[in-house]
Chains A and B, each alone.
Chain A
Amino acid sequence: MSLRFLDLARPSRQHWLGYLLLLPAVALVALIIVYPLFVSLDLSFQKIGMATLSAPRKPFTLENYHKLFASPDFWNSCWVTIKLVVVVSAACFAVGLGTALLVNNRFKGRTLARLFVALPWAVPEVIAVVIFAWIFDSSFGLMNWLFIKLGITSQMINWFSEPTAAFWVVAVTMIWKGYPFVSIMTLAGLQSIPEDFYNAAKVDGANAFQRFWYITIPVLMSVLGVTSVLVVLWVFRDFSIIKVLTDGGPLKATQTLSIMTYDQAFGFFNMGYASAIGIVTLVLCVVASLLMLGRKSQAMY
Chain B
Amino acid sequence: MQRTTLQTLSLYAGLAVVCGVLLFPIYWLFVTALSTLAEIRQLPPSFWPAEPQWSTFAKVGTERPIFLWLWNSTLAALGSVALSMVVSVFAGYSLSRFSVKGGRSLGLFILTAKMLPATLLVIPLFGIFRSMGLIGSLWSLVLAHATLIIPFTTWMLKGYFDTIPRELEQAAMVDGCSPLGALFRVVLPVATPGLAATALYAFVLSWADYAYARTFLTNAQGSWTANLGITTMKGEYVTDWNEISAAAVFIALPIILIYLFLERYLVGGLTAGAEK
Contact = CB atoms under 8 A, between A and B. Distances in A.
Interface stretch (B48-56, B58-66, B83-91, B189-197): B83-91
A123 B103 contact: no
A205 interface: no
Contacts of A24: 86-87, 90-91
B6 interface: no
B130 interface: yes
B244 A107 contact: no
Contacts of A14: 179
Interface string A210-235: 00000000000001001000100100
A17 B207 contact: no
B255 A122 contact: yes
Contact of B18 (A35, A36, A102, A226): A102
Category for how many chain B residues contact A: 35 or more
A19 B100 contact: yes
B40 interface: yes
Interface of A is mostly: helix
Contacts of B126: 51, 265-266
B251 interface: yes
Interface residues of A, number: 100
B12 A107 contact: yes
Contact of B259 (A107, A119, A130, A230): A119
A217 B260 CA distance: 30
A286 B99 CA distance: 26
Residue with the greatest number of chain A CB neighbours at <10 A, chosen from B22, B42, B154: B22
Nearest to A299: B276
A28 B127 contact: no
A131 B248 contact: yes
Nearest to A278: B120
Residue with the greatest number of chain B CB neighbours at <10 A, chosen from A33, A139, A261, A286: A33
A130 B19 contact: no
Interface of A: 7-9, 14-15, 17-19, 21-22, 24-26, 28-29, 32-37, 39-40, 43, 51-54, 95, 98-99, 102-103, 105-107, 113, 115-128, 130-135, 137, 139-140, 142, 145, 149, 176, 179, 184-185, 188-189, 192, 223, 226, 230, 233, 236-237, 239-240, 243-244, 257-259, 261-262, 265-266, 271, 274-275, 278-279, 281-282, 285-286, 289, 298-299, 301
Given A24-B87, A184-B271, A301-B155, 16 more contacts: A9-B178, A17-B179, A29-B109, A51-B123, A52-B131, A95-B22, A98-B18, A102-B11, A105-B11, A123-B26, A124-B251, A130-B248, A145-B44, A233-B115, A243-B211, A271-B127
16 contacts: A8-B180, A22-B106, A25-B106, A32-B144, A33-B116, A34-B109, A102-B11, A122-B256, A122-B259, A122-B260, A130-B234, A132-B25, A140-B40, A237-B119, A262-B211, A285-B117
